[in-house]
Amino acid sequence: VPLVRIDVFEGRRTPEQLRLLADTVQDVMLEVFAAPPRDRYQVLAEHRPGQLICEDTGLGLERTDDLVILQVFQQGRSEEQKRALYAGLAERLETVTGLAPSDLIVSVVGNTREDWSFGLGRAQFLDGDL
């Protein structure tokens, strides 16, 4: 279910590094966000200089051009699962890809089980397929 938009600056990562970033995000989805196997829907976009503008809401965080903005559209996760997602992403992305935890921004949007069709024109959550 999670549909994840990944926005980064262009020119900072090779295609292989971008893939590792996306793979690592997905690993965390599977491990701490209760996504079932093969539940992967990711849209990556690379932006030219100036096209991502992120400050820090006064939190004292330093942003660099390695910045990653994740927008996660999902249904049904609890507050605890979201906390685990944020912590898991920061820890794993730092370990695997070297991303500074201060360069990771995550925003979640919730919808409901009737809001998803994974193919064939069906509403798999409502039809008992999932």
Binding mask 2-31 for a copy of itself (x = CB under 8 A): -x---x-------x--xx--x---x-----
Instruction: Please report how the helices 15-32 and 79-97 are oriented relative to each other, as an axis angle in degrees rounded to 10.
Output: 150
Contact in structure between 41 and 2 (CB atoms under 8 Å):
yes
Q: Give the contact letters, 80-99, x = binds to a copy of itself (CB under 8 A), - = no.
A: --xx--xxxxxx--------
Provide, rounded to whole angstroms, the least separation between the CB of residue 38 and a copy of itself. 4
Asked whether the beta carbons of 24 and 96 are under 8 A apart, the reply is: yes
Q: Is 109 in the site for a copy of itself (CB under 8 A)?
A: yes
Give the number of other CB atoms < 10 A from CB of residue 45.
Answer: 12
> CA 119 to CA 117: how far, in whole Å?
6
Q: Site residues (CB under 8 A) for a copy of itself? A: 1, 3, 7, 15, 18-19, 22, 26, 36-47, 49-59, 61, 69, 71, 73, 79, 82-83, 86-91, 101-112, 114-124, 126, 129-130
Q: Hey, which residues are catalytic here?
A: 2
